[in-house]
Amino acid sequence: MRLSAIFIRLIVFSAAAFLSVAAARTTVAVVEERSVMAVQETLVDQGYEWASVLGDGLQVILEGEAPTEAVRFRAISAAGGMVDASRVIDNLSVADSAIIQPPQFAIEILRNNAGVSLIGLIPATTDRDALAERITDIADGLPVTDLLEVADYPTPPNWRAAVSYALRSLEILNKSKISVNANRVIVNAISDSPEEKRRFEVALARNMPDGIRVSVEISAPRPVISPFTTRFILDEEGARFDACAVDTEEALSQIMAAASEAGFDAQANCVFALGAPSRTWGEAVAQSITAVKNIGGGTITVSDTDVTLIAPAGTGQATFDNIVGRLENSLPDAFALTAELPDLPSDTAEELPQFTATLSPEGEVQLRGRVPDDITNTVVENFASARFAQRNITMGTRVAEGLPAGWSVRVLAGIEALSELSNGAVIVEPENMTVRGNTGNENASAAVSRLLIEKLGQTADFDIDITYVKELDPIAGLPTPEECIAQIIAATEGRKITFDPGSADLTIDTQPVVDDIADILKKCGDLRIRVSGFTDSQGREVMNQQLSQDRADAVLTALRARRVPVSTFESIGFGEENPIADNDTEEGREANRRIEFSLILPEPPAEDVSVLDELAEELTEEEAATDADDSAAESE
């Protein structure tokens, strides 16, 4: 009986223990499963699908590879929001960081009357002292603020060329903002006048670096035009503007709308300028053009507040009076109208006096025709010499009596109009003047129109036929450096630069060759050119090298005397090196005695090695040395 009671107690305690263990396991499993599910759902909802969650009792274990350290930390925080943070076990790893991309090197340069400021990031290989010295020279005594930072990364391929061009631009432009990186240079500047703006554009167009995008925007104050003039013609050749000046976009729209209705379908080079006599300028010009259209042709000239309408010869008097009357009553109050109806030409008209001035493409000027007296003839010659910069002027004029009043003024005005052209002719007659030719200035027609109106009056009758030729434009027609060298080679083909025997004195026959080369280089602008001298193999090598150097220097001096900008040139004597013919014959030796022109090309940038690369290289060398020592030890 007693044994049975003990046995029963053991069974009861055993059953209780078993049930306790089972209940504990079940409880742990439920808590573990729910914790894992809660944490897993949270991580998935927040975009951390890469993380896996394991349960170990009350502990929640996170495993997986986080893309970054920040993402790993956020994943742990998310898990700690679902269970107690002390229960979260971090077994996460972080993916290896990708290769760090080098920063974008860039410089912002600002120059004004207060000095020069620089800010940006440059490579560590940059010569800071040389850069600072160059900027200081450009600042010319004004303060320089250098806020440049340095990064130890390889220099981009085009970085040096871009910075060099930016500094050349900074040297030219007194008020500018220049942004430069390895692929692009952006130049924004302010000029004092349209003429200065054009000079800046020509200077910046020279030596633009290859492989780099260059953006140049130079602003200039609007020109002041006096008289403020627009001249519109409608005849059998069509509708056209000889001059067009506007003050606002609204005025331009009004004028272009009226011109389109009159048959004008080209692009008018209207100049936005200061000096408009009235705010109703656009309205007055538009009404005047409409009157020309309604009358069937003619010329309308609006100069300041004076409106001059010249109808076609043969227009009916009633039609003329009607249209002129309507225009006179509709013009704004500030404007006054003068209308003229020319008579039909007479069949028995006598021969009219004439004066002709021509300008050839080579620059030769010929003046022919009648002048009233010897004094006027001398004045005409001197005035032409002044306007055409002492070019070759041929006088074919003769003194005649009975010339109309104001003939001298018309002749001088014609010569001044011709000076606006690259080549062309001017025909002066008592009642008319014709100007025709070619130019590289898109605004030449407007300039000639204003000139003739100012010199001859509002009612002057003149015809202008000026053609813009891109090749004559100093900007659009600017030759490339390679084209300049090719032109020099072509100019010296069949003739060469020669010297007196054994000396560096240019022969007389060489002067025309040097003149032609100088003319080419003046058009090419600021190029880096090497003048190389060569000799034959006669004599000692040292003497030949010195003679070739003296001859190259002599050519450089001759070009400088012809006002060629040679500050970027260099002269080098190579002696008897690089022969192009056999020195055993007289013909070969003559060919080897020569002067050559070539471009100075920028040296390719040296391969930059950063500090990190140097350390990696040193480690590689050390590992290689260690491996070699181990191999030697094993072989022993």
Q: What is the CATH number of the domain that holds 200?
A: 3.40.1520.20
Asked whether residue 631 is domain-assigned, the answer is no
Whether 549 and 526 share a structural domain: yes
| Residue 415: closest CA among 459, 366, 461 | 366
- According to DSSP, the residues that pair with 94 across neighbouring strands are 66
Residue that finishes a domain, picked among 192, 219, 246: 219
Residue that finishes a domain, picked among 340, 375, 395: 340
State the maximum Cα–Cα separation within the chain, in Å, rounded to a whole number: 172
pLDDT of residue 27: 63
Q: What share of the chain is helix, strand, coil (3-state, %, to 5)?
A: 40, 25, 35
Asked whether residue 348 is domain-assigned, the answer is no
Whether 422 and 505 share a structural domain: no
Whether 291 and 330 share a structural domain: yes
Asked whether residue 15 is domain-assigned, the answer is no
Phi, psi of 145 (to 5 degrees): -105, 110
CATH number at residue 267: 3.40.1520
Asked whether residue 614 is domain-assigned, the answer is no
pLDDT of residue 52: 84
Whether 237 and 336 share a structural domain: yes
Whether 275 and 316 share a structural domain: yes
DSSP 420-458: TSSEEEEEE-SS-EEEEEEES-TTHHHHHHHHHHHHH-T
Residue that finishes a domain, picked among 165, 188, 219: 219
Surface-to-core class of residue 302, CB atoms within 10 Å of its CB (0-12 exposed, 13-18 middle, 19+ buried): buried
pLDDT of residue 48: 84
Whether 362 and 465 share a structural domain: yes
| Residue 103: closest CA among 147, 156, 161 | 156
Whether 331 and 274 share a structural domain: yes
Q: Map residue 269 onto helix, strand or coil.
A: coil
* Unique residue bearing structure tokens 């078993």: 18
CATH number at residue 86: 3.30.1340.30
Whether 168 and 260 share a structural domain: no
Q: What angle do CA 272, 273, 279 make, to 5 degrees?
A: 95
Whether 130 and 76 share a structural domain: no
* Cα–Cα distances in angstroms (integers) from residue 462 to residues 153, 380, 435, in the given order: 67, 20, 8
Asked whether residue 634 is domain-assigned, the answer is no
Whether 334 and 250 share a structural domain: yes
* Unique residue bearing structure tokens 């006598």: 350
Domain count, the chain: 5
Element (H or E) spanning 547, and its range?
Answer: helix 541-561
Whether 255 and 203 share a structural domain: no
Angle separating helix axes 281-295 and 249-261, nearest 10 degrees: 0
Asked whether residue 625 is domain-assigned, the answer is no
CA distance 310 to 233: 10
Mean pLDDT by 10 residues, the chain (636 residues): 66 75 66 77 84 79 84 84 81 73 89 93 89 89 91 89 90 92 92 84 79 89 88 91 92 94 88 92 95 93 93 89 92 92 68 89 90 92 86 85 91 93 93 92 87 87 88 74 87 86 88 90 81 89 90 92 85 90 86 89 51 50 53 48
Cβ neighbour number for residue 474 with a 10 Å cutoff: 15
CA distance 614 to 124: 14
CA distance 352 to 357: 16
Task: For residue 30, give its domain range.
Answer: 25-94
CA distance 464 to 445: 7
Asked whether residue 327 is domain-assigned, the answer is yes
Q: For the sheet containing 52-56, what is the strand order?
A: 52-56, 59-66, 88-94
pLDDT of residue 223: 85
Strands 88-94 and 59-66: parallel
Taking a C-beta distance cutoff of 8 angstroms, is the pair 484, 521 a contact? Answer: yes
pTM, two decimal places: 0.58
pLDDT of residue 269: 82
Whether 468 and 504 share a structural domain: no
CATH number at residue 572: 3.30.1330.60
Asked whether residue 10 is domain-assigned, the answer is no
CA distance 563 to 559: 7
CA distance 74 to 76: 5
